[in-house]
Amino acid sequence: MEFLNDFLKIFLATCRDVLPIALLIAGFQAFVLREPVPHLKRVLVGGVYVVVGLALFLAGLEKALFPLGNIMAAQLSDPAFIYGAGEIIIQADWKAYGWIYLFAAMIGFATTIAEPSLIAVAYKASEVSAGTINQWGLRITVAVGVAFGISLGTFRIVTGTPLYWYISIGYLIVVIQTIFAPKSIIPLAYDSGGVTTSTVTVPLVAALGLGLSATVPGRNPALDGFGLIAFASLCPIISVMGYAQLMQLKKK
Amino acid sequence: MIVKLIISKLKTAITDLAPIILVIAFFQAIVLRQPLPHMGEVLFGGLLVVIGLTLFVQGLEMGLFPIGEEMAHALARKGSLSWLLIFAFALGFSTTVAEPALIAIAKEAAEIAAQGGLIEQSRKSLNQYGFGLRMTVAFSVGLAILIGVIRIIRGWPIHYLIIGGYVIVMLMTIIAPEEIIGIAYDAGGVTTSTITVPLVAAIGVGLSSSIRGRSPLLDGFGLIAFASLMPIIFVLGYGLIIFR
pLDDT at B147: 95
Residue B113 C-beta-side C-alpha neighbours within 13 Å: 29
Comparing CB atoms, the residue among A46, A109, A174 nearest residue B63 is A46
- Domain residue ranges in chain A: 1-63, 78-251
Residue B174 C-beta-side C-alpha neighbours within 13 Å: 6
Q: Do B62 and A43 touch (CB under 8 A)?
A: yes
Angstrom distance (rounded) from CA B40 to CA B46: 10
- pLDDT average, residue stretch B181-203: 82
pLDDT averaged over every residue in chain B: 86
pLDDT at A142: 95
Report mean pLDDT in 10-residue bins for chain A, 252 residues: 80 85 88 83 92 90 79 76 63 76 89 89 90 90 94 89 87 92 92 79 76 77 72 92 90 76
Check pLDDT > 90 for residue B191. no
Cα end-to-end distance, chain B, whole Å: 66
Closest chain A residue by Cα to residue B88 = A24
pLDDT at A90: 62
pLDDT averaged over every residue in chain A: 84
pLDDT at B212: 86
Q: Assess B171–A contact: CB distance below 8 Å, yes or no.
A: no
pLDDT at B142: 94
Question: For residues B173 and A212, is the Cβ–Cβ distance under 8 A?
Answer: no
Residues in chain B within 8 Å Cβ distance of A184 = 215, 217-218
Mutate to test the interface with B, among A61, A109, A191, A240 (most CBs of B within 10 A): A191
Angstrom distance (rounded) from CA A29 to CA A33: 5
pLDDT at B1: 67
Q: Do B197 and A117 touch (CB under 8 A)?
A: yes
pLDDT at A176: 94
pLDDT at A151: 93
Angstrom distance (rounded) from CA A147 to CA A103: 9
Question: For residues A115 and A195, is the Cβ–Cβ distance under 8 A?
Answer: yes
Those residues with Cβ within 8 angstroms of residue A177's Cβ, 6 or more apart along the chain or in another chain: A238, A241, A242, A245
Comparison of pLDDT for B150 and B41, the residue scoring more: B150
pLDDT tens-digit series, residues B60-117: 999 889 999 988 999 988 888 999 999 999 999 988 887 777 887 788 788 877 877 7
Those residues with Cβ within 8 angstroms of residue A12's Cβ, 6 or more apart along the chain or in another chain: none
DSSP letter assigned to residue B31: I
Q: What is the pTM of this model?
A: 0.87
Buried-exposed string B166-180: b where 16+ CB fall within 10 A, e elsewhere: beebeebbeebeebb
Comparing CB atoms, the residue among A17, A46, A59 nearest residue B62 is A46
pLDDT at B244: 65
